[in-house]
Homo-oligomer: A and B are copies of this chain.
C-alpha cells in the first residue's frame, strides 16, 4: 500500500517537471496557467488512491494517466468557462478573460489532445482498456455539458433529468478516475467496476456539495463569488429540489427569473432565492443527499475485502471531498 502523504506529494508535484513547448505562446501559456494553478486535483488524487489499494510503489506508469485526467479536466474547464462566460476560476482570471475566446478555444483543444496523448502512453497491455475508458468518459462529459446548457433554457428540470446530467458531466469522470487507478494496478475487472461505482457516487455527492456551497459556502474559501448558479440561471440540485417541494411554484419561478444586471439586482436576487431555499429546507436536504451518496460510495467498496485499513483510506478520501458541506 502507498501512504496518503506520498500520494498527496506526488499529486502536488505532478506537473513540476513537465515542460510544455514554448511556441506559440498563445497555445502553451494557457496550458501552463491551467495546470500550474492551485487546483484541487481531485481526479488524479482519486486515481492514485485507487491504485494505492493494490500497489506499494508509485511510478511514472501511474503518474502519467493521472496527469492525463487533470489535463482533460482542465480542457473542460477552459471550454466551460467560455460557454458560461465565467470571469473567475480558482480566484484567478479565466483563460478566455486573460487571453481571449479564440485562444481559450484552441488551448482547450490542445489540453484535450495532450490528455489523449498521455493516456495512450501507458504500457501496451493497459492501452486499449484505458483509451476506451477515457474516450467513453470524455464523450459522456460532453453529453452532460450539452444537457446542462439545454436545461438552462428550460423552466423546469426534473430531479431525474438533473441527476442524469450530473451523472454524465461529473460522476462518470470521477468513476473513470478511480477505475483508471484500479486498471493500472492490475485489479480484477469486478474490483475495477466497484471502484468505478465508488467514484461515480462520490461524484454525485461532490456535485451536490458544489451546488450547495455556491449558495451556502464561504466566498473566500471558494475563491469565486457566491450565487453564480442563481445569476446564470443554471439548474442546480437546490433549484431542482426546491421546485419539487415548493407549494408556491410561480413565486419560486419569479424569484429565479428576476433580472440580475446591476450588482444590486444580483445581490437581491441571490438573497431572495436563498431565502426560499431556507424556508423549504432544501439546504438540509442537500446535506442529507450528500450523506446518502457517500454511503452508497462506501457500500460499493465494502464487499471488496480490502480490509479495514484500506476501507478507512477510502472513507477519509470521501470525507475530505464532501466534508466541506457539513
Which residue numbers of A lie inside 8 Å of B, CB to CB? 21, 23-24, 26-27, 75, 79, 82-83, 102-103, 105-110, 112-114, 116-117, 120, 124, 127-128, 131-132, 135-136, 138-139, 142-143, 145-147, 149-150
Contact = CB atoms under 8 A, between A and B. Distances in A.
A18 to B, nearest CB: 15
Nearest to A131: B120
Contact of A127 (B27, B82, B114, B127): B127
A146 B136 CA distance: 28
B142 A27 contact: yes
Contact of A112 (B21, B112, B145): B112
Contact of A142 (B113, B116, B131, B142): B113
A105 B128 contact: no
B26 A109 contact: no
A304 B103 CA distance: 41
A147 B102 contact: no
A150 B24 CA distance: 9
A63 B102 CA distance: 33
27 contacts: A21-B143, A24-B146, A24-B150, A26-B146, A26-B149, A27-B142, A27-B143, A75-B109, A82-B105, A83-B102, A83-B106, A105-B105, A106-B145, A106-B146, A108-B109, A109-B142, A110-B142, A112-B112, A112-B113, A113-B138, A116-B116, A117-B131, A117-B132, A117-B135, A120-B131, A124-B128, A131-B131
A142 B143 CA distance: 24
Given A142-B27, A146-B26, A83 B109 contact: no
Q: Interface residues of A: mostly helix, strand, loop or mixed? A: helix
A131 B110 CA distance: 15
Contacts of A114: 135, 139
Contacts of A147: 24
Nearest to A116: B116
A72 to B, nearest CB: 10
A102 B96 CA distance: 14
A75 B149 CA distance: 20
Given A24-B143, A26-B150, A139-B114, A105 B120 contact: no
A196 B207 CA distance: 46
B27 A146 contact: yes
A182 to B, nearest CB: 20
B106 A109 contact: no
Given A105-B105, A146-B103, A120 B112 contact: no
Contacts of A23: 143
A203 to B, nearest CB: 19
Contacts of A128: 120, 124, 127
A122 to B, nearest CB: 10
A266 B287 CA distance: 60
A297 to B, nearest CB: 27
Contacts of A150: 24, 26
A103 B148 CA distance: 11
Contacts of A75: 109
A52 B223 CA distance: 57
